[in-house]
Chain A
Amino acid sequence: DAGITQSPRHKVTETGTPVTLRCHQTENHRYMYWYRQDPGHGLRLIHYSYGVKDTDKGEVSDGYSVSRSKTEDFLLTLESATSSQTSVYFCAISEVPSGIGTQYFGPGTRLLVL
């Protein structure tokens, strides 16, 4: 398995609080992605990174921000959590841009916003 960890694995928080999820990789891959997955749906891209300090928005980026200060870490922040952000969040990495090679996924973080 690719060396990807996510923390925390489970989190319960209240509406209006900020939340930060961490993705850590030991593969030295350049590209990192944050997705959310809701029941009965596939994965939707939130943000992605193509290098240290280089990030871009995905299709559902509103209410989320990201930072990548080191190759190995990609942080996802919910600035003020809402119940609609209750979801499972997956981090993914790839050595080459998505579309040339496959992405490897982390174990996921289950987030419940009350």
Chain B
Amino acid sequence: EDKVVQSPLSLVVHEGDTVTLNCSYEVTNFRSLLWYKQEKKAPTFLFMLTSSGIEKKSGRLSSILDKKELFSILNITATQTGDSAVYLCASDTNAGKSTFGDGTTLTVKP
């Protein structure tokens, strides 16, 4: 059975802090790893990672995949209150199915 585990489950930081969110996976026929941000509504896409060691970056957010150790991290630097959300990690397979982790709830305090 495919499995995706995220840690920590929740995190409280102050504005300006840097955070690292973790995602490990055990998936048959792995194809890609995706990160989403969910703010009390539908998830929105952040990154899709298919190759090991290549960092994807978007502003203060970055992510990298390690296909040997089967994990990914999402970094957020200089956090802002608008970064408060649930961050979801999902693994996709060649069969076209997605398995999601339970999410990390990030709270950024002013």
Contacts and interface: CB of A to CB of B under 8 A. Distances in A.
B42 A98 contact: no
A74 interface: no
B45 A44 contact: no
A13 to B, nearest CB: 22
B97 to A, nearest CB: 6
Interface in B28-56: 31-32, 34, 41-45, 48
B42 A90 contact: yes
Q: Which label, helix, strand, loop or mixed, suits the secondary structure of the B interface?
A: strand
A42 B101 contact: yes
A48 B48 CA distance: 20
Contact of B97 (A58, A90, A101): A58
Interface of B: 4, 6, 9, 31-32, 34, 41-45, 48, 88, 90, 92-94, 96-103
